């Protein structure tokens, strides 16, 4: 082949340009706020995270995981060998053969990518992404031919000028996409940013199965600093590794396909949101975005830059307020991007700096501030629901095995039925328990998700203060939101009130009681039952089994919905979404009820008062909705409990 000097020169050029691009990209990320990350440890852990955590998610789509392993693995190997063989000119037949094998692997993988792109589902982005499989093929194909002489298959210098020209064009194209494009913002950027994102992830604990939210407490003293801002106003207010994370998005749209708000036609699409964040960090418009829009909003009008206020032109606040914080997107994202934390970060700015929490938001927050409950009821009426229950108060008994965290369900008549059922079960199992009574405050969940971290922090601290006065080994609550706050978010406040305390959801605790034989249950003889996983119990806390085991212990065979377990669809009640109430085409609760109805179930078992409220809000005819505690209570075998008929009479009066 002629022009021997040409190809090494091209490779060198592409690599140099890639390095320059990498430096530029890194600087874009570094414009974010500092975050304490152990860089070396992160880099060391990165391959493991790729092989375990990331691969576990990709593995859910077998086709894609194999395709990616072949293409990506083949490419990394080829790139290294190309440098050795073609750039450094090491003349070694083994290396050349290895390179040929790697390229062949990559080529086969790329064929499958190509095939998937022939008839792409609506969730994945088109645009430059449609070009990617062809670029991969060009790269692998051209270098394959180029390597043949080195492997001794073809004599050196074979092929004419025409072949050289064709190969050169293909190589420029291939390297343009794969080396240059990787750091200058092409689709291959995901490999570069994705690898570093795994290493420097904002939520390092996530990889060990940690149950945190990345919602670290806002430093409220920032409000008084000159130029200080609460929450995220501009892209540069994100931590640098959050910016890096946004850049890792492959626009696969797995998040979009799972997002309940998107399905309901509310103006939110988590994929577009992440892409808008990329527009923000790099500067520009969304004109090149080639995926589904925010429902009801045209693409092309969003403008942003690192120092532009995000909600002034890049993202409509309605988009941020549509999110139920259900984390379906986070669960599904193969790049392990944290959408919810970013959304709440931006909500914090809207609420704490602009005072722009929509609809009932301001009123609810005011109520929480003034009365420690979202509806503005008298704090002294918190225990009214239990006037006839004779519950031991912590204030009196000082210690108990179990602290029953009642939650704001205390103020809601429907939720009170769940609370009563749970109390009856506790009594039937002779559990040594007590409640805080009027000393308990709202957990702060809603305030935090609505962006008012000041109020969340105040509630958390005051709750911890109360908790620290008493002795108990377990906290049990019927509210998954309070459960999440107590278990995962209260630990940021340096209190030892919860040290050594087990925080449990009532289904987990009841399941323990049943397994220990402390609760005897009749078999359930009613109709078909399905179970709805609450987001804050399942995805946030990984508890999928206990509620199911409880149902099975009553002889119930659960008719699972298509979306259940970690893929459960939100009821629409989380994240303050019913309060901010952004209009869509449908209601999320209706869609979830359709999921339930389509199993043929006549009873939906739930483990959350918010889910109960949302699902019961769906118009009849629909399956009945009951908390697992209520179902258990009806099946309870216990002579000491008054006969159930009287109970029902009593309930009707309330």
Binding interface with ligand SF4 (CB under 6 A): 249-255, 258-261, 268, 270-271, 274, 323-329, 332-335, 337, 339-340, 570
Q: Is 555 helix (H, G, I), strand (E, B) or coil?
A: coil
365 contacts another protein (rule: CB under 8 A): yes
**SS3 of 304, please?**
strand
- By residue count, the chain amounts to 654
From the list 105-113, 330-338, 373-381, 622-630, the region that binds another protein by CB under 8 A is 373-381
Supply the minimum distance, in Å, between the C-beta of residue 450 and another protein: 11
Q: What is the DSSP letter of 521?
A: B
Closest CB 577 distance from ligand SF4, rounded Å: 8
Counting residues that bind another protein (by CB under 8 A) gives: 27
Nearer to ligand SF4, 186 or 260 (CB): 260
List the one residue out of 467, 482, 465, 461 whose CA is nearest residue 435: 467
Place of tokens 């997107």: 329
- Angstrom distances, CA of residue 584 to CA of 5, 86, 302, 564, 565: 61, 56, 20, 23, 26
Q: How far apart are CA 22 and CA 28, in angstroms?
A: 10
The residue among 363 and 638 lying less far from another protein, judged by its C-beta, is 363
Residue of 216, 234, 212 whose CA lies nearest to 456:
216
How far is it, in rounded angstroms, from Cα 293 to Cα 299?
6
- Distance (Å, rounded) from C-alpha 526 to C-alpha 623? 12
In the complex with another protein, which residue's Cβ is closer, 207 or 411? 411
Give residues with Cβ within 8 angstroms of 127, minimum separation 6: 288, 289, 290, 291
Least Cβ distance, residue 566 to ligand SF4 (angstroms): 12
Question: Treating both helix axes as pointing N-terminal to C-terminal, what angle do 62-82 and 93-118 enclose, rounded to 10 degrees?
Answer: 150
Question: DSSP 3-state assignment of 441?
Answer: coil
Selected from 47, 157, 355, 644, the binder of another protein by CB under 8 A is: 355
Nearest to 12 by CA among 96, 103, 88, 106: 88
The binder of 352, among another protein, ligand SF4, none, by C-beta within 5 to 8 A per type, is another protein
Closest distance between another protein and the C-beta of residue 367, in Å? 9
CB of 272 to another protein, least distance (A): 28
Tell me how far apart the 2 most distant CA atoms of the chain are, in Å.
97
Candidates 534, 539, 616, 619; CA nearest to 574 is: 534
Kindly tell me which of 382 and 506 has the beta carbon lying closer to another protein. 382
Q: How far is the CB of 242 from another protein (least distance, A)?
A: 21
Smallest distance from the beta carbon of 456 to another protein, in angstroms? 11
Closer residue to ligand SF4, CB minimum distance, 263 or 514: 263
**Interacting residues with another protein between 180 and 239 (CB under 8 A):** 220, 223-224, 229-230
Interaction mask 91-120, another protein, x per CB under 8 A: ------------------------------
From the list ligand SF4, another protein, none, which binds 559 (C-beta under 5 to 8 Å, kind-based)? none
Closest to another protein by CB, 371 or 477? 371
Indicate which of another protein, ligand SF4, none lies near residue 379 (CB less than 5 to 8 Å, by partner kind). Answer: another protein
Least distance (Å) from ligand SF4 to the CB of residue 396? 42
Closer of 247 and 627 to ligand SF4 (Cβ)? 247
In the complex, minimum distance from the CB of residue 327 to ligand SF4, in angstroms, rounded to a whole number: 5
Task: Write down the least CB distance from residue 400 to ligand SF4, Å.
Answer: 36
From the list another protein, ligand SF4, none, partner contacted by residue 340 (C-beta under 5 to 8 A by kind): ligand SF4
Say if residue 621 is preceded by a cis peptide, omega within 30 of 0: yes
Q: Which does 371 bind (CB under 5 to 8 A by kind): ligand SF4, another protein, none?
A: another protein
φ, ψ of residue 604 to 5 degrees: the values are -105, 120
Per-residue contact string for residues 302-341; x = within reach of another protein by CB under 8 A: ----------------------------------------
Residue 392 CB, nearest distance to ligand SF4 (Å)? 39
Closer residue to ligand SF4, CB minimum distance, 416 or 568? 568
Kindly identify the residues of this chain, within the stretch 441-500, that bind another protein according to CB under 8 A.
452, 454-455
Q: Which range in 200-208, 364-372, 522-530, 641-649 contacts another protein by CB under 8 A?
A: 364-372
**Which two three-digit tokens encode residue 403?**
């602290």
* 106, burial (CB in 10 Å: exposed 0-12, middle 13-18, buried 19+): buried
Residues contacting 54, CB < 8 A, separation 6+:
198, 334, 335, 336
Q: Which of 210, 239, 425, 472 is nearest to 341 (CA)?
A: 239
Spell out the alpha helix ranges (H) of 60-188.
62-82, 93-118, 128-147, 161-175, 181-184
Choose among 441, 442, 446: nearest CA to 466: 441
Q: Which of 135, 241, 251, 351 binds another protein (CB under 8 A)?
A: 351
Among 271, 81, 302, 118, CA closest to 190 = 271
- Interface residues toward another protein, by CB under 8 A: 220, 223-224, 229-230, 351-357, 361-362, 365-366, 369-372, 376-379, 452, 454-455
């Amino acid at each position: 082949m002629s022009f021997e000097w040409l190809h090494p020169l091209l490779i060198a050029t592409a690599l140099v340009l890639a390095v320059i691009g990498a430096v530029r990209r890194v600087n874009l990320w570094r414009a974010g706020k500092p975050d304490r990350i152990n860089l070396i440890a992160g880099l060391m852990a990165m391959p493991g995270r790729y092989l375990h955590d990331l691969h576990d998610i990709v593995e859910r789509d077998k086709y894609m995981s194999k395709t990616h392993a072949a293409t990506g693995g083949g490419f990394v190997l080829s790139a290294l060998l190309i440098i050795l063989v073609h750039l450094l000119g090491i003349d070694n037949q083994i290396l050349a053969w290895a390179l040929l094998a790697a390229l062949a692997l990559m080529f086969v993988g790329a064929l499958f990518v190509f095939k998937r792109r022939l008839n792409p589902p609506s969730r994945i982005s088109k645009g430059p992404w449609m070009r990617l499989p062809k670029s991969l093929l060009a790269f692998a194909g051209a270098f394959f031919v180029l390597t043949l002489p080195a492997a001794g298959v073809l004599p050196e210098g074979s092929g004419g000028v025409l072949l050289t020209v064709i190969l050169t064009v293909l190589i420029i194209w291939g390297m343009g996409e794969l080396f240059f494009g990787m750091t200058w913002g092409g689709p291959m950027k995901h490999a570069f940013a994705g690898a570093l994102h795994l290493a420097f992830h904002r939520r390092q604990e996530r990889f060990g199965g940690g149950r945190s939210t990345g919602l670290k407490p806002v430093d409220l003293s920032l409000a008084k600093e000159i130029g200080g801002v609460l929450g995220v106003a501009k892209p540069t207010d994100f931590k640098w590794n959050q910016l890096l994370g946004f850049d890792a998005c492959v626009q696969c749209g797995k998040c979009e396909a799972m997002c309940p708000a998107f399905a309901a036609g509310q103006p939110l699409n988590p994929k577009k949101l992440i892409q808008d964040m990329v527009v923000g960090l790099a500067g520009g418009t969304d004109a090149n975005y080639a995926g589904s829009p925010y429902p009801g909003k045209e693409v092309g009008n969003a403008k942003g830059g690192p120092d532009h206020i995000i909600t002034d032109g890049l993202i409509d606040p309605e988009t941020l307020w549509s999110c139920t914080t259900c984390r379906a997107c986070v669960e599904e994202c193969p790049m392990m991007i944290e959408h919810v934390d970013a959304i709440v970060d931006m909500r914090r700015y809207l609420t704490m700096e602009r005072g722009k929490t929509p609809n009932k938001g301001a009123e609810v927050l005011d109520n929480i501030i003034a009365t420690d409950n979202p509806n503005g009821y008298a704090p002294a009426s918190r225990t009214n629901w239990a006037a006839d229950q004779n519950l031991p108060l912590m204030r009196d008994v000082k210690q108990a095995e179990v602290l029953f965290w009642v939650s704001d369900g205390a103020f809601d008549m429907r939720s009170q039925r769940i609370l009563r059922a749970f109390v009856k079960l506790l009594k039937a199992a002779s559990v040594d328990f007590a409640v805080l009574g009027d000393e308990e405050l709202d957990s702060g969940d809603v305030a935090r998700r609505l962006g008012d971290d000041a109020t969340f922090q105040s509630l958390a601290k005051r709750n911890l203060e109360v908790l620290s006065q008493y002795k108990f080994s377990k906290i049990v609550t019927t509210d998954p939101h309070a459960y999440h706050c107590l278990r995962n978010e209260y630990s940021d406040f340096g209190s030892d009130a919860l040290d050594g305390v087990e925080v449990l959801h009532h289904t987990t605790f009841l399941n323990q009681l049943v397994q220990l034989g402390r609760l005897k249950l009749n078999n359930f003889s009613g109709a078909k039952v399905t179970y709805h996983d609450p987001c804050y119990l399942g995805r946030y806390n990984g508890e999928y089994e206990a509620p199911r085991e409880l149902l099975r212990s009553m002889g119930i065979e659960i008719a699972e919905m298509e979306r259940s377990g970690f893929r459960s669809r939100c009821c629409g009640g989380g994240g303050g979404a019913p309060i901010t109430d952004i209009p869509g085409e449908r209601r999320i609760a209706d869609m979830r009820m359709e999921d339930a109805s389509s199993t043929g179930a006549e009873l939906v078992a739930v483990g959350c008062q918010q889910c109960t409220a949302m699902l019961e809000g769906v118009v009849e005819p629909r399956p009945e909705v009951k908390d697992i505690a209520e179902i258990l209570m009806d099946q309870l075998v216990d002579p000491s409990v008054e006969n159930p008929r009287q109970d029902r009479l009593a309930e009707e009066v309330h």
